[in-house]
Amino acid sequence: MARSVTGPARARILIVDDEPALREGLAETVCDLGHEPVLAASGAEALARVAADPAIAAVLLDLRMPGGIDGMAVLQRLRAGAQPPPVAVLTAYASAENTIEAMRLGAYDHLTKPVGRAELTELLRGMLSLSASTVPEAPGPAPASALIGSSEAMRRVQKAVGLAADSDATVLLQGETGTGKEVAARALHAFGRRQGGPFVPVNCAAIPADLLESELFGHLRGAFTGATSDRPGAFREADGGTLFLDEIGDMPPAMQAKILRVLQERVVTPVGGRPAPVTVRVVAATHRDLPRLVAEGGFRQDLFYRLNVVPITLPPLRERLADILPLAEHFLSSNGAGQKRLGAEAAAALMRHPWPGNVRELRNVIERAAVLARGAVIGAEDLGLPETGASGEAPGVVPAWLDGDLPGAVARLEEAMIRRALHATGGNRARAAKHLGIQRQLLYAKIERYGLRDPALSENPTEDVPNPDARPLD
């Protein structure tokens, strides 16, 4: 029998956080919303509270806590219970890994602290209307993800990957070339219950049309000229795991019909052989506009519907400005560049570049710079990017806000962008957050950090959860 979940009426909400100010701030808001807060200062205390109190209807859970049981371990133990309440993870240290892992383990949501009152209202409304029996059971641990990024666009991708990872539903990854569709496909496999099986990628655009059927479905020896031995094919090679069909929008029409049949029946027929069942999770990807191709007759409508069960769109890098420098630092460290680091001019050049090749282009630029830079600091000239400065800015001239070290330059850019967004939206912070592509509560924290609570900048503030001792969100 599932744990009963209270609707709009008064409910008991467990708040788990090791910092008293944050616990009390959330508790005050929960009370104002008509619910009863239950407080816990550690993971062990949280588990004990839930075990002793079956009336707890929802849990607000901090991620980083002392005492040997962190938020992720608490989430996993709660979700493994027979009557688990819905759990929302609240953290000041959001990352791709903990976002995906939390969603995969069954979290209702994963939010960055501090959480605004309006957001907490919507969060509790959703959690309290959710039947606990519909939330999936907690799976085992998963490896790290390479879906780097803290921008709102990338966090949507991370959450979608976490939610879809354990499902067998077909996923369609869409996005421009170089946005990281294969990285997302590998994350779906690595975080899912098929992670112990094979991951088999096939680039449908790179294989000649007359060989694609054999590549996907296999063949028997002697089935055609040149078939000197049996070949299992990608579908059977991926049996028990994940088959990644990259650039499926370039698949010839004849193969589209055969792929559709396999997706419907989960049976493959090797060239010259007999039908054989397969158990495989299919993830497809394309940079093409499939709905447009369907309308033009270049792609089967029924196949599009069969593939588009769980659509995930990878955003272009130009829409992920907050992720450019973290990605660059990641590529620099993973390239084995030793003590080399980005200088202010190089950081400015990276932020100015339009990145038509997206993350793939950024990775190649950083790898090249790591090889060519003679000193410990990578300069703009080491990147080899075209001199395309901002409007009205002479090539090679570094704006004043780029003086000093990289963290300082990033902070000054961040402050300037927030000021500009607040002015552009008439001080409406919710609209400013949407304009900047970040969560409202993150904007509120940065307004506090940069001292932007000026009435001239923020005429329409949204009430925050009281948080007098909020820590910086680096």
pLDDT tens by residue, 431-445: 888 878 777 778 888
Is 2 domain-assigned?
no
**CATH number of the domain bearing residue 224:** 3.40.50.300
Query: Are residues 270 and 352 located together in one domain of the fold?
Result: no
Phi/psi of residue 293, nearest 5 degrees: -60, -40
Q: Say which residues have a Cβ less than 8 Å from residue 342's Cβ, sequence separation at least 6.
A: 325, 328, 329, 332, 350, 377, 378, 406
Give tens-digit pLDDT for 232-252. 889 999 999 999 999 999 999
Cα(267)–Cα(279) distance, integer angstroms? 9
Q: Using only C-alpha atoms, what is the Rg of the chain?
A: 25
Per-residue confidence (pLDDT) for residue 143, from 0 to 100: 45
Query: Are residues 178 and 209 located together in one domain of the fold?
Result: yes
Query: Are residues 110 and 74 located together in one domain of the fold?
Result: yes
Closest by CA position to 466, among listed 116, 121, 120: 116
Is 442 domain-assigned?
yes
pLDDT category, 296, cuts 50, 70, 90? very high
Which has more confidence, 291 or 407? 291
Q: What is the CB neighbour count within 10 angstroms for residue 131?
A: 11
pLDDT category, 389, cuts 50, 70, 90? very low
Query: Are residues 200 and 248 located together in one domain of the fold?
Result: yes
Name the 3-class secondary structure at 300.
coil
Give tens-digit pLDDT for 362-383. 999 999 998 888 778 898 999 9
Query: Are residues 302 and 392 located together in one domain of the fold?
Result: no
The answer on pLDDT for 315 being more than 80 is: yes
Give tens-digit pLDDT for 255-283. 999 999 999 999 998 888 888 999 999 99
Per-residue confidence (pLDDT) for residue 456, from 0 to 100: 53
For the whole prediction, is pTM greater than 0.85?
no
- In the chain, the amino acid numbered 250 is D
DSSP-derived pairing of the beta strands 281-286 and 242-246: parallel
Q: What is the CB neighbour count within 10 angstroms for residue 195?
A: 19
Report the DSSP beta bridge partners of residue 311.
172
Query: Are residues 396 and 441 located together in one domain of the fold?
Result: no
Q: Count structural domains, the chain.
A: 4
Query: Are residues 266 and 196 located together in one domain of the fold?
Result: yes
Q: Which two tokens stand for residue 418?
A: 């927030």
Query: Are residues 465 and 379 located together in one domain of the fold?
Result: no
Is 151 domain-assigned?
no
pLDDT category, 201, cuts 50, 70, 90? very high
Query: Are residues 203 and 306 located together in one domain of the fold?
Result: yes
Query: 209-213, 219-223, 325-329: which range is least confident on average?
Result: 219-223
Query: Are residues 448 and 351 located together in one domain of the fold?
Result: no
The answer on pLDDT for 5 being more than 60 is: no
Is 179 domain-assigned?
yes
Which has more confidence, 401 or 231? 231
Per-residue confidence (pLDDT) for residue 166, from 0 to 100: 92
Query: Are residues 197 and 269 located together in one domain of the fold?
Result: yes
Which residue range(s) make up the domain with 140? Answer: 12-145
Query: Are residues 257 and 359 located together in one domain of the fold?
Result: no
Per-residue confidence (pLDDT) for residue 87, from 0 to 100: 94
**CATH number of the domain bearing residue 44:** 3.40.50.2300
Q: Over pLDDT 70: what percentage of the chain?
A: 84
CA 201 to chain centre: 21
Name the 3-class secondary structure at 246.
strand
Residue 422: C-alpha distances to residues 318, 416, 419 (Å)? 21, 10, 5
Is 342 domain-assigned?
yes
Is 154 domain-assigned?
no
DSSP-derived pairing of the beta strands 171-174 and 199-203: unpaired
Is 7 domain-assigned?
no
Mean pLDDT value of segment 39-64: 92
pLDDT category, 9, cuts 50, 70, 90? low
Residue 128: C-alpha distances to residues 23, 48, 398 (Å)? 20, 21, 52
Q: For tokens 């949407």, name the residue.
A: 434
Which has more confidence, 405 or 305? 305
Is 221 domain-assigned?
yes
**Which one of 386, 404, 422 terminates a domain?**
404
**Which one of 383, 404, 425 terminates a domain?**
404
**Which one of 262, 290, 313 terminates a domain?**
313
Per-residue confidence (pLDDT) for residue 393, from 0 to 100: 45
